[in-house]
Chain A
Amino acid sequence: MLQGISLACVRGDRELFKDINFSLEAGGLMQVRGPNGSGKTSLLRMLCGLSNPAAGEILWNGASIRSLNGDYFAAMTYIGHLSGTKDDLTVIENLRISSALAGYEINDTQASEALGYMGLGGREVLPVKILSQGQRRRVALARLLVCKTSLWILDEPLVALDVLAVKLIRELLEQHLKQGGMVVMTTHQEIDLTATSTTQLHLA
C-alpha cells in the first residue's frame, strides 16, 4: 500500500502544491491530473524516491520509503519522460541491461518475447538511435513486461505512442491492476481503465 501524507513541493520560491494526501491499495489506480507546470512530474519523482518532499511523508506498507530504500526500489518500476535507453546499444541489449539493473535478469528468449509483445519483433538487433520516438517508448515500456514489480509509476507513458500501442498499454495496465498491482500515472490523453479503485488527484 502506498500512502502520501500532506506532501508539499517547493521549486525555488514557488510552492507547486501542498497538503496532498492519498492512499493507494492493491489493485488501485491513481491518475494525477493538472495543467502543465502544476507539479505532476515533481510529485511522481517524489513518489519513486528520486527527490524529497518539502514536507510530508511517503509510506510504503506503513514504512517510510526513505528507510526502505532498496526494498522499495525492488517493488517499484518508474518510467519517466526520459526513456532510459542507450542510443548505442541494440533494442534487446537495452531491455536486458535495464531489467538486470532493476534486479530482474532475463535471457534473450524472454527479452525477445517481451519485445515481440510490444510490437518490436524483428527489430531486436537494431541500435536504439535509429528507432522513432514511439518505438523508443515501446522499448522503455517493455520493461514493465519483464519486471514483476507491484507498483508502477508512469510519467506520460502514452506520449508518442500510436493507437495500437495505446491499446496494448491499456491491456497491460488492466492486467496488472487485476493481479493486484498498483499504478500511479499522469496522462493528458483520455484512457479508461477498469480498476478496483480509481483515485483522481488534481493538482491546481
Chain B
Amino acid sequence: MFMWMIKRDLLLAMRRQSDVLTTLFFFIIVVSLFPLSVGPEMNMLRTMAPGVVWVAALLASMLSLGRMFSNDYLDGTLEQMLLSPQSLSFLVLGKALAHWLVTGVPLVLMAPVLGIQYDLPVEALFVLTAALLLGTPVLSLIGAIGAALTLGLRGGGVLVSLLVLPLYIPVLIFGAGAVEANMAGVGFDAHLSLIGAFLLVSLVFAPWAAASSLRVSLE
C-alpha cells in the first residue's frame, strides 16, 4: 500500500507537470538572480553561495507544501486514506517521500550546476549536493506536519510558513555550514552527521505527527 501511495502521487505529478516545474523554476530563478545582481566579485559570491542555495531550496520546498494534502482533502481521497487498514503514518510517509521525489530531488540535481555560477570549487559542489540530498527529505517530512495542521484553513499558506520555518532553520544552518566548513578547510562530517540525525528523527516522528494532525483536521 505504501508503494501504491508513492506510485499514485508520482503519477499525479506526471499528469500535472506544471506544479513540479514551478518549484524547480522558482529555485533556479532565485539562485541565478543573486550573481547577476550582486556582481562578479568571486570572493563574495563564494561566501554567499551555500546560504543562497539553501534559502532558495527552503522556500521552493515550502511553495509546494500547500498542495501536499489539500487536493486529496477536496476530492475525498484523504478521507479514504484515513479509513485504510494500513496505518495512516505509513501512508503519510509515502506521501512525504513522493513529495521529496517530485520537489526535492530535482533541486538536488540542479544545485551543482547552479553552484558553478558562484565559482564554487568542485569539492564544495559535492558537499553542497550531499547536504541537500540529506536535508531536502527533512524539509518534506517536517513540511508534512505543517501542511496537515493547516489543512482546510483559509490563509493556510501563511500559517504553514510560520509553523514550519522555525523547524527548518537547524537544517538550513547545518546545511549551509557544511559547505562553508569545507571551503574553510575544516571537516564537514559533523554538519552532515547532524543533518543525518535530523533526517532520522523526522523519519520517525514527522509521519506520526502529521497523521495525528490529519485526523484532527478531518474530524
Which of A48, A51, A73 is in CB contact (< 8 Å) with B85? A73
- CB–CB B86/A80 < 8 A: no
Is the C-beta of B36 less than 8 angstroms from some C-beta in chain A?
no
- CB–CB A50/B83 < 8 A: yes
- CB–CB A101/B80 < 8 A: yes
Return chain A residues, CB-CB under 8 Å to B15.
Answer: 88-89, 127
Return chain B residues, CB-CB under 8 Å to A82.
Answer: 74-76, 79
Return chain A residues, CB-CB under 8 Å to B219.
Answer: 50-52
User: Which single residue of chain B is at the shortest CB-CB distance from A72?
Assistant: B85
Report how far A108 CA is from B100 CA in the complex, Å.
29
User: Which single residue of chain B is at the shortest CB-CB distance from A105?
Assistant: B4
Binds A, one of B5-13, B105-113, B125-133, B179-187: B5-13
* Smallest CB separation, B182 vs chain A (Å): 42
- CB–CB A103/B83 < 8 A: no
Report how far A51 CA is from B11 CA in the complex, Å.
30
Interface string of B67-108 (1 = CB under 8 A from A): 000000011110111111111000100000000000000000
Is the C-beta of A100 less than 8 angstroms from some C-beta in chain B?
yes
Is the C-beta of A93 less than 8 angstroms from some C-beta in chain B?
yes
Interface string of A12-31 (1 = CB under 8 A from B): 00000000000000000000
Interface string of A158-197 (1 = CB under 8 A from B): 0000000000000000000000000000000000000000
Return chain A residues, CB-CB under 8 Å to B87.
Answer: 70
Is the C-beta of B154 less than 8 angstroms from some C-beta in chain A?
no
- CB–CB B1/A88 < 8 A: no
With A88-B15, A89-B15: A103-B86 Cβ-Cβ less than 8 Å: yes
Return chain A residues, CB-CB under 8 Å to B11.
Answer: 89, 93
CB neighbors of B among A116-141 (8 A)? 127
Return chain A residues, CB-CB under 8 Å to B4.
Answer: 97, 100-101, 105
Return chain A residues, CB-CB under 8 Å to B74.
Answer: 82
Query: Which of the four size classes fits the interface of chain A?
Result: 20 to 34
Is chain B's interface secondary structure helix, strand, loop, or mixed overall? helix
Report how far A198 CA is from B150 CA in the complex, Å.
42
Return chain A residues, CB-CB under 8 Å to B162.
Answer: none
CB neighbors of B among A51-106 (8 A)? 51-52, 70-71, 73-74, 76, 78, 80-89, 93, 97-98, 100-103, 105
Report how far A70 CA is from B201 CA in the complex, Å.
25
* Smallest CB separation, A145 vs chain B (Å): 16
With A86-B77, A101-B91: A76-B12 Cβ-Cβ less than 8 Å: no
Return chain A residues, CB-CB under 8 Å to B86.
Answer: 70, 101, 103
Interface string of B103-145 (1 = CB under 8 A from A): 0000000000000000000000000000000000000000000
* Smallest CB separation, B175 vs chain A (Å): 33
- CB–CB A101/B79 < 8 A: no
18 A-B pairs within 8 Å (CB atoms) are namely A50-B219, A51-B218, A73-B83, A73-B84, A74-B85, A78-B83, A80-B79, A82-B79, A83-B75, A83-B76, A85-B76, A86-B75, A88-B16, A89-B12, A89-B15, A97-B8, A100-B4, A101-B91
List 13 extra interface pairs beyond A71-B85, A86-B12, A97-B7, CB under 8 A.
A48-B83, A49-B83, A51-B218, A70-B85, A80-B79, A81-B76, A82-B76, A84-B77, A85-B77, A86-B75, A88-B15, A97-B8, A101-B81
Chain B residues in contact with chain A, CB under 8 A? 1, 4-5, 7-8, 11-12, 15-16, 74-77, 79-87, 91, 218-219
